[in-house]
């Protein structure tokens, strides 16, 4: 009897809770659809804006360290794409200023970069670069990357564009910068990665960073992984076996010189990559080099320790960060000492370059060999 009584009470209570009383304004499906579209536009506009910020900080870090980077090339500071590479279904939601269509257009220009100085503009449709006529449509970016892969970058690039029907020609006097292009993905996870060739930054990471200095810090850290030869061939191979499809997608985008667009949501994979990529010793070395690279690019490094500490403590889920971007006392102390080392060098008028161990050259040689073995392009060919 008691049980039945309880049941009645529960039913009574839940009955009361079930229907809210408010008589809400009515909305129809067309209105819902319109609002959904508007939200998409807002979201993709934000993506383009953040990509622009990341590309500009990346260009600054890459160019300010060209004199000490092992891998440099001439770059113009522009990013191009078409609707296919950004995703046919979502292309219409991107800002009209980037002019996404079947033809390849300029979707970003770093301020004060060679492309900017030459007079190129956002939304310009690229017709021709150094006598190579740009293809359009589905595999346009793949074809472009295939063409330029084997062509040596020259300092001056001749670019012919279509600007709202007007055909214009530009000579871009490119700048030699560290050759680690920034790929900006739409993943919400707070992380960044280095794959030996490029620097991959998630939207989650940019959302998380409080200012340009923090973004620069992350880019500089990843630059250090790339340029200081941290790529561990063995681990890298394991990684590829597990994620070949994804890597292929990314490679297409990377070699195109374009951006990672589309609906890339590889959050789980990202954390897997993060946790496997580098050993703790390499992480410390990336911290060390990274602080130098960020400082050399003109960024404020006084908060670097606090920044990594915040990442470690506020993202307990990011095992990737706490294990391989180690949140340890030792790590933070080392970062602090690096900042002091740089300050002292500045006062003493010494060259602001990382101190290197004597054995470095030998290590580098063997790592270069390893790197050669790990060649994604070959893997792609085999797959084809
Ligand atoms: Zn790292």
Instruction: Using the mean position of ligand 1's atoms as its centre, give its distance from the Cα of residue 286 in Å.
Output: 6
Asked if residues 267 and 187 have their Cβ atoms less than 8 Å apart, the reply is yes
Instruction: Using the mean position of ligand 1's atoms as its centre, give its distance from the Cα of residue 278 in Å.
Output: 7
List the one residue out of 118, 108, 110, 97 whose CA is nearest residue 177: 110
Neighbouring CB atoms inside 10 A of 74's CB total: 18
Instruction: Using the mean position of ligand 1's atoms as its centre, give its distance from the Cα of residue 267 in Å.
Output: 17
- Say what percent of the chain tops pLDDT 90: 51
Instruction: Using the mean position of ligand 1's atoms as its centre, give its distance from the Cα of residue 313 in Å.
Output: 16
**Average pLDDT of the residues of the chain:** 79
pLDDT for 234: 39
pLDDT for 381: 43
Asked if residues 220 and 290 have their Cβ atoms less than 8 Å apart, the reply is yes
Instruction: Using the mean position of ligand 1's atoms as its centre, give its distance from the Cα of residue 249 in Å.
Output: 23
pLDDT for 346: 94
pLDDT at 260 over 50: no
Classify residue 135 by its DSSP letter: P
Asked if residues 62 and 77 have their Cβ atoms less than 8 Å apart, the reply is no
Cα gap 171→160, rounded to integer Å? 9
Instruction: Using the mean position of ligand 1's atoms as its centre, give its distance from the Cα of residue 321 in Å.
Output: 8
Tens digits of per-residue pLDDT, 151-197? 888 899 999 999 999 999 999 999 999 999 998 888 887 778 887 88
Instruction: Using the mean position of ligand 1's atoms as its centre, give its distance from the Cα of residue 335 in Å.
Output: 13
Instruction: Using the mean position of ligand 1's atoms as its centre, give its distance from the Cα of residue 380 in Å.
Output: 26
Instruction: Using the mean position of ligand 1's atoms as its centre, give its distance from the Cα of residue 283 in Å.
Output: 5
Asked if residues 171 and 157 have their Cβ atoms less than 8 Å apart, the reply is yes
Instruction: Using the mean position of ligand 1's atoms as its centre, give its distance from the Cα of residue 290 in Å.
Output: 9
Instruction: Using the mean position of ligand 1's atoms as its centre, give its distance from the Cα of residue 199 in Å.
Output: 11
Kind of pairing between the strands at 125-129 and 132-133: antiparallel
Reported confidence tier of residue 146, pLDDT bands at 50, 70, 90: confident
Instruction: Using the mean position of ligand 1's atoms as its centre, give its distance from the Cα of residue 325 in Å.
Output: 5
383 vs 31 pLDDT, higher one: 31
Asked if residues 84 and 137 have their Cβ atoms less than 8 Å apart, the reply is yes
- Say what percent of the chain tops pLDDT 70: 72
Cα-only R_g, the chain? 24
Instruction: Using the mean position of ligand 1's atoms as its centre, give its distance from the Cα of residue 43 in Å.
Output: 28
Instruction: Using the mean position of ligand 1's atoms as its centre, give its distance from the Cα of residue 120 in Å.
Output: 35
pLDDT for 249: 37
Mean pLDDT of 281-307: 91
Reported confidence tier of residue 206, pLDDT bands at 50, 70, 90: very high
pLDDT for 204: 87
Instruction: Using the mean position of ligand 1's atoms as its centre, give its distance from the Cα of residue 192 in Å.
Output: 8
Structure tokens at 246: 């994804």
Classify residue 209 by its DSSP letter: -
Task: Please state the pTM of the whole predicted model.
Answer: 0.78
Reported confidence tier of residue 365, pLDDT bands at 50, 70, 90: very low
Instruction: Using the mean position of ligand 1's atoms as its centre, give its distance from the Cα of residue 296 in Å.
Output: 19
Instruction: Using the mean position of ligand 1's atoms as its centre, give its distance from the Cα of residue 222 in Å.
Output: 6
Question: What 3-state class would DSSP assign to 261?
Answer: coil
Instruction: Using the mean position of ligand 1's atoms as its centre, give its distance from the Cα of residue 209 in Å.
Output: 16
Lowest mean pLDDT among 26-30, 198-202, 228-232: 228-232
Instruction: Using the mean position of ligand 1's atoms as its centre, give its distance from the Cα of residue 287 in Å.
Output: 7
Instruction: Using the mean position of ligand 1's atoms as its centre, give its distance from the Cα of residue 277 in Å.
Output: 8
- Domains in the chain, start-ordered, CATH in brackets? 72-177 (2.30.42.10), 180-383 (no CATH)
Beta bridge partner(s), residue 166: 163
pLDDT for 243: 41
Kind of pairing between the strands at 182-185 and 199-202: parallel
In the numeric block, the tokens 């340009």 are attached to 212
pLDDT for 331: 78
pLDDT for 328: 66
Residues near 84 by Cβ (< 8 Å), separated by ≥ 6?
102, 137, 138, 139, 140, 141
Structure tokens at 276: 């496997």
Instruction: Using the mean position of ligand 1's atoms as its centre, give its distance from the Cα of residue 54 in Å.
Output: 18
Structure tokens at 310: 């915040």
Instruction: Using the mean position of ligand 1's atoms as its centre, give its distance from the Cα of residue 181 in Å.
Output: 17
Asked if residues 242 and 280 have their Cβ atoms less than 8 Å apart, the reply is no
- What separation in angstroms does the CA of 112 have from each of 76, 221, 246? 10, 24, 34
pLDDT for 252: 34
Asked if residues 280 and 320 have their Cβ atoms less than 8 Å apart, the reply is no
């Amino acid at each position: 009897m008691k049980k039945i009584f309880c049941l009645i009470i529960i039913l009574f209570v839940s009955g009361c809770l079930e229907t809210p009383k408010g008589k809400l304004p009515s909305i129809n499906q067309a209105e819902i659809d319109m609002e959904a579209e508007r939200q998409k536009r807002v979201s993709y506009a934000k993506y383009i804006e953040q990509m622009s910020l990341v590309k500009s900080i990346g260009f600054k870090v890459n160019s300010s360290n060209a004199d000490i980077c092992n891998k440099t090339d001439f770059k113009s500071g522009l990013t191009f794409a078409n609707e296919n590479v950004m995703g046919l279904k979502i292309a219409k939601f991107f800002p009209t200023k980037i002019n996404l269509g079947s033809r390849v257009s300029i979707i970003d220009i770093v301020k004060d970069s060679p492309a900017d100085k030459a007079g190129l503009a956002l939304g310009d449709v690229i017709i021709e670069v150094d006598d190579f006529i740009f293809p359009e449509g589905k595999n346009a970016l793949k074809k472009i990357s295939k063409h330029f892969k084997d062509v040596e970058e020259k300092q001056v690039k001749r670019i012919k564009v279509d600007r709202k029907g007007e055909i214009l020609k530009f000579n871009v006097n490119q700048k030699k910068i560290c050759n680690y292009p920034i790929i900006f993905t739409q993943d919400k996870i707070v992380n960044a990665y280095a794959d030996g060739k490029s620097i991959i930054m998630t939207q989650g990471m940019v959302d998380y960073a409080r200012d340009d200095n923090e973004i620069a810090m992350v880019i500089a850290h990843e630059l250090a992984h790339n340029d200081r030869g941290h790529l561990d061939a063995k681990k890298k191979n394991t990684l590829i076996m597990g994620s070949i499809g994804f890597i292929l997608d990314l490679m297409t985008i990377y070699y195109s010189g374009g951006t990672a667009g589309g609906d890339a949501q590889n959050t789980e994979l990202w954390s897997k990559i993060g946790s496997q990529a580098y050993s703790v010793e390499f992480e410390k070395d990336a911290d060390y080099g990274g602080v130098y690279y960020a400082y050399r690019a003109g960024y404020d490094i006084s908060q670097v320790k606090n920044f990594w500490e915040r990442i470690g403590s506020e993202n307990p889920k990011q095992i990737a960060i706490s294990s391989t971007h180690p949140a340890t006392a030792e790590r933070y102390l080392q970062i602090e000492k690096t900042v002091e080392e740089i300050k002292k060098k500045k006062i003493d008028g010494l060259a602001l370059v990382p101190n290197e161990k004597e054995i470095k050259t030998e290590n580098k040689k063997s790592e270069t060999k390893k790197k050669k073995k790990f060649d994604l392009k070959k893997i792609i060919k085999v797959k084809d």
